[in-house]
Amino acid sequence: MTDTDTIFGKIARGDIPADIVYEDDEVVAFRDLNPQAPTHVLIIPRKPIPTLNDATEEDAPLIGKLLLAAARLAKEFGFAEDGYRTVVNCNANGGQTVYHLHVHLIGGRPLQWPPG
């Protein structure tokens, strides 16, 4: 099994469906199946990087694009000014369950800090 065999790799390749809200050559964004807020989107690179620990200097522009996509989507969804949260979970203690790097974009209601 390769990294591309995660569920997110399959979504990025179009092998399984998702509610895609943005995509380009390098990035895909789709709605989370288990939303934690009125808007909960996952933003992934098409490149299958398993965790943030696996990202290299070469990936810096790509990771920047994930965050810029989050900010752009927050504006499009209309909650950029009110505020929102971006989260990258890493490995077991971070709560990562899908081993294809992703940024959660969560917004549309006030969010507690610190999270649980």
Q: How far apart are CA 84 and CA 74, in angstroms?
A: 7
102 is catalytic: yes
Least Å from the CB of residue 8 to ligand DGP:
7
State yes or no: residue 95 binds ligand DGP (CB under 6 A).
yes
Q: Which of residues 32-91 bind ligand DGP (CB under 6 A)?
A: 32-34, 42, 89
Give the residue with the Cβ less far from ligand DGP, 33 or 71. 33
State yes or no: residue 18 binds ligand DGP (CB under 6 A).
yes
Report the SS3 class of residue 110.
Answer: coil
Helical H segments across 1-116, by residue range: 7-13, 60-77, 91-94
CB 52 within 8 A of CB 33: no
**Catalytic residue positions, numbered:** 102
